[in-house]
């Protein structure tokens, strides 16, 4: 089991930008096509902006045309967790960081093979570690 990172609301506010706080701690959503990673094509690893947990690899990233970074799988099923989200008069599955419970985005069943999943994430919920050519 993953050891949870727990902080007070004021500690999170101190650590994060206002937009990062709104998205990750208050379940907000950034506007489509505004985040730094929606069209990122570099190789590397996407981590949680709140705790650094490794979430997604560029190897599973694809262009969904939605304006948010999209992936067909997390790096491991223990890196994320899921909750039902019935807000906005829709039934969706929310994706959270398994380590700190940060809201990352939602997962949908309209992605490419091999999983058929589309993990639609908020760029501001992610940090990117670029992998150099080795």
Nearest alpha carbon to residue 23 among 99, 92, 120, 105: 105
73, burial (CB in 10 Å: exposed 0-12, middle 13-18, buried 19+):
middle
Q: Choose the catalytic residue: 48, 50, 100, 120.
A: 120
Instruction: Look up residue 58 and give its two tokens.
Output: 């560029």
Is 97 a known active-site residue?
A: no
3-state DSSP assignment of residue 113: coil
| Active site residues per annotation | 120
């Amino acid at each position: 089991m993953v050891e949870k990172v727990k902080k007070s609301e004021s500690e999170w506010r101190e650590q994060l930008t206002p937009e990062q706080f709104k998205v990750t701690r208050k379940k907000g959503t950034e506007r489509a096509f505004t985040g730094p990673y929606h069209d990122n094509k570099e190789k590397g690893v996407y981590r949680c902006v709140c705790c650094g947990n490794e979430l997604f690899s560029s190897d599973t990233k694809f262009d969904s045309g939605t304006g948010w970074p999209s992936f067909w799988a997390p790096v491991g099923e223990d890196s994320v967790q899921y909750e039902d989200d019935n807000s906005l008069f829709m039934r969706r599955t929310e994706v959270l960081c398994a380590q700190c419970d940060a809201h990352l985005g939602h997962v949908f069943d309209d992605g490419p093979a091999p999983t058929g999943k589309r993990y639609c994430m908020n760029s501001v919920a992610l940090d990117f570690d670029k992998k150099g050519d080795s």
